[in-house]
Chains A and B, each alone.
Chain A
């Protein structure tokens, strides 16, 4: 699963870490001072590292909870994200993490208590108002659950905080921890999808759409709030047919009436990330189509983007009520 485990010396005797180390005792264990020594080095190749990433166990020192970027959210006023992991076990060609990080190793921040304290401080700061906390911004929220036990720790934290909503965003089918628990009013499990033909080309090592739908159905049947994220929308000449098929497949299996939220977001990348990703994957069709730079963000040309968004929006709204629809782009 991992090529090696790097661990910050200060965490060698952390109880949460000791359990994990016992489980992976056959892997090389390499002690380091700070995770940046490995993760932030120059002259690394994300693509080569993705062949056999290592797990870096670290402690996050500051900025445990941060405001989300604009347009990232579900209509709430106070939107924050926190990342117990950096990087993802999946290998989606459109994912901005490839452009943001120099390394493909997974960084796991084991000091959950510090994250919990920062979350509680934000809730206290906005007392009486609803705060949204997104955990799947720099990683997949559930994919490494058997290793990180993130959900096990954080769900009890949120269960008593009805003004705080936790979103778990995932492409994973690791939902057993959730199914073993009673559903929570203030936790949304959001699954992201792209059309099957595109997923096959761009989403490597990811469970198929059907497997994701099955996991989602199980959660919905158990009373968990689930959401759909069609983000990023990917352009192809036959995009209309692609998305029509996808929506029909999804909404024939998922009860639209009890969905928490559905969002759409078009493929876009900050310009420096785009350049890095294009250098990493020069043979990738996604980066070879005609794209445009607008205010430092690279996306489809305005006319294509408008058509793609408008059409997908109309197709989507045939299946869901507008009140649960949240576009993730400038309207």
Chain B
């Protein structure tokens, strides 16, 4: 699962087209779009809105630790050319002075750099970093829900010293994002792949659900069941469990006992 946070509807449009996202029609405080494995929210401009929208998106669908997060949008920079993409390796909130370090565990298809999140549009570019208005708010909120390696900010330079911010138009924003969709999609694909790798590990959900539907299961018993089922899969190269046999037992305690016996009988070989 990938959650995307953008500030402007113009930034959202190329994503909606590229991923064929549908507007989620129930009433939402923010515009939200989605498909099976991607959700996108349009936060509005600024740190606070980005943080609130991130939290809101996390609440819509159960956002476990295996959900990836991406904040994408336009930004300014003193020297980089318009259209250049930069993946954040350091995010500095210029107001609170908080600093965040995204963990880039893949080969990025673009430059990486420092992003400074400012409260009002930066037109002087005092240092040669990328200036945006949402990254810090997004990142500090997303850290509550996800693991650091799956939370990233990607900025597309829309203005610089030679091409100031007042020249940036609505259609220009759409065009800039559209032009960089390949880079964005490459990062999104890596994030989805890493998230799926973590997801694949959480085996046993179906089996636990099946057993819980037949017997009363306490929380502790569910935890034991998960552990035993994971051990079964690990020791048998993911062979299916004989669920019907387990289902014929008297209660959860008997299921746990039967699983323990079966697991102990599995040969240990490398």
Contact = CB atoms under 8 A, between A and B. Distances in A.
Interface of A: 3-4, 6, 28, 30, 32, 37-38, 41, 43-45, 47-49, 51-54, 195, 197-198, 200-202, 234-238, 242, 281-285, 287-290
A235 B268 contact: yes
A51 B234 contact: no
Given A4-B112, A48-B147, 11 more contacts: A38-B101, A41-B148, A43-B143, A45-B147, A49-B149, A54-B103, A200-B270, A237-B269, A283-B203, A288-B231, A290-B263
Interface string B231-252: 1111100100000000000000
Given A236-B268, A282-B234, A285-B234, A45 B90 contact: no
Residue of A32, A45, A53, A200 most packed against chain B (CB within 10 A): A45
Interface-centre pick from A6, A43, A235 (highest chain B CB count, 10 A): A43
Nearest to A200: B270
Interchain residue pairs A-B with the least CB separation, the first 6 = A288-B234, A288-B231, A48-B149, A45-B147, A198-B270, A52-B105
Contacts of B269: 236-238
Contacts of B238: 283
Contacts of B36: none
Contacts of A201: 270
Contact of A37 (B101, B149, B194, B268): B101
Name which of B89, B232, B233 has the most chain A CB atoms within 10 A of its CB. Answer: B89
Task: Tell me the interface secondary structure of chain B in the complex.
Answer: mixed
B148 A288 contact: no
9 contacts: A3-B104, A4-B89, A48-B103, A51-B106, A53-B105, A237-B267, A282-B202, A285-B235, A285-B268
Contacts of A37: 99, 101
Nearest to B113: A28
B17 interface: no
Contact of B270 (A28, A44, A234): A234
A187 B157 CA distance: 56
Nearest to B99: A37
Contacts of B235: 285, 288-289
Contact of A236 (B89, B113, B270): B270
Contacts of B101: 6, 30, 32, 37-38, 41
Contacts of B201: 281-283
A207 B203 CA distance: 32
Nearest to A31: B90
A45 B148 contact: yes
Nearest to A3: B104
- Most chain A beta-carbon neighbours within 10 Å: one of B105, B114, B194, B198: B105
A242 B269 CA distance: 10
B212 interface: no
Contacts of B146: 43
A5 B184 CA distance: 24
A289 B146 CA distance: 30
Given A43-B147, A44-B147, A45-B198, A30 B89 contact: yes
A129 to B, nearest CB: 43
B205 interface: no
B122 to A, nearest CB: 21
A30 B90 contact: yes
A110 B202 CA distance: 40
A45 B149 contact: yes
Nearest to B204: A282
Given A38-B101, A283-B203, A285-B234, A197 B270 contact: yes
B206 interface: no
B63 interface: no
B264 interface: yes
Contacts of B268: 235-237, 285, 289
B104 A4 contact: yes
B150 interface: yes
Given A30-B90, A51-B106, A283 B230 contact: yes
B107 interface: yes
Interface string B163-202: 0000000000000000000000000000000100110011
Contacts of A285: 234-235, 268, 270
A275 to B, nearest CB: 11
